[in-house]
Amino acid sequence: MPEGPELHLASHFVNEACRELVFGGCVEKSPVSRNPEVPFESSAYSISALARGKELRLTLSPLPGAQPQQEPLALVFRFGMTGSFQLVPSDALPPHAHLRFYTAPPGPRLALCFVDIRRFGRWDLGGEWQPGRGPCVLLEYEQFRENVLRNLADKAFDPICEALLDQRFFNGIGNYLRAEILYRLRIPPFEKARTVLEALQQRRPSPELTLSQKIRAKLQNPDLLELCHSVPKEVVQLGGKGYGSESGEEDFAAFRAWLQCYSTPGMSSLRDRHGRTIWFQGDPGPLAPKGGKSRKKKKSQEAQQGPEDRVEDPPSPNKAPSRTRRAQRGLPKQTTAQVPEGTSLQQDPEAPPVPDKGKRRRRPATSGRHRTRKIKADIPSLEPEGTSAS
């Protein structure tokens, strides 16, 4: 799932790729997307991007003399589970390109595409950041730190692993980042958050230290909030477009080599109250779910999984579509039931809920005779495509 570093890398990619390009015409939305239409048309406009936490703002700015005359338009994207931007030839659009911006002639026609295989991604018109999200852990560190320490009385701060996914306070932190941050400090994931954070309210560097000594002390002994800033920066410095098989094997290999805890052999895992898997080493902490069984990852499991399995922890679907319908809808071979992204920020908002497991009922055995089955054609549903996906 894209987290703060991936959104930051995506904004960098858009700005670099589109710096010398002129776009023109209408913005095109795929018919299966349930996101809003983008009412923008210009004979010549530029595109720029800015990331903040787990959101990315795309600004469409008409160039001087462009027709029809209109004001710039901004859209705010949340990438969901699989969102990304790609720049491709207009006659070679990738599957699941749900929003497309085309370049203007002359020259080869290109398309900047928002690609989202699982369709959890969202865009909103107007350019406003989602209300309630806290300061960005990457770009607004001082405001982020102040916001956390000022709100420690909030009930969200227990346990620490769940608090780290609360975007009201940790905007940009997601599942792999929380595991890496807690592992580096050897903090049990189900420790009381206030136990960890209240001590930081009194932490003040000695006035006798010089500036260079203060910086050195922070680098050698960072606290949890400092790691919420520095660990995402490490991912950004890896370059590429972030993690996942769609970013290329070289990018993915670098990311896998960087991981110390998340989904790595020898680490244990538990599900938190929201169904998200937290990876850790050692004692899970006093607030661990009762009856929860810790699983330890073995090297054989690592070899059996593909890249996408290793970087995500999707829930199992209650019911999968038939092969024929999968092909008709253009869905990948394995997918999950998709639900609209919730408005609550008290857990990672892009994380789908874990469905309850149901029991299959067996048919009674027939006695002696083989009953002829009626074969029904797999008729496409009259319901518009994508109504079960967000």
Q: How far are the Cα atoms of 32, 151, 200 from residue 223, in angstroms, in the given order?
A: 45, 17, 8
Contact criterion met (CB below 8 Å) for 54 and 167:
yes
Class of residue 39 by CB neighbours under 10 A (exposed 0-12, middle 13-18, buried 19+): exposed
Query: Among residues 348, 357, 373, which one has the least CA distance to residue 120?
Result: 348
Residue type, 127: G
Q: What's 112's DSSP letter?
A: E
Q: Are strands 277-280 and 268-271 parallel, antiparallel or unpaired?
A: antiparallel
Output the six-digit token pair for 123.
Answer: 């865009």
Give the C-alpha separation, 3 to 263, whole Å.
Answer: 16
Annotated catalytic residues are 2-3, 54
Q: How far are the Cα atoms of 90, 110, 115, 187, 380 from residue 102, in angstroms, in the given order?
A: 7, 6, 14, 48, 32
Q: In sequence order, which ranges of the chain are alpha helices (DSSP H)? A: 4-18, 141-150, 160-163, 175-185, 193-201, 211-220, 224-238, 249-258, 299-304, 307-311, 323-329
Give the C-alpha separation, 378 to 120, whole Å.
Answer: 27
Q: What's 246's DSSP letter?
A: G
Q: What is the dihedral of CA 280, 286, 291, 295, to 10 degrees?
A: 10
Contact criterion met (CB below 8 Å) for 213 and 196:
no
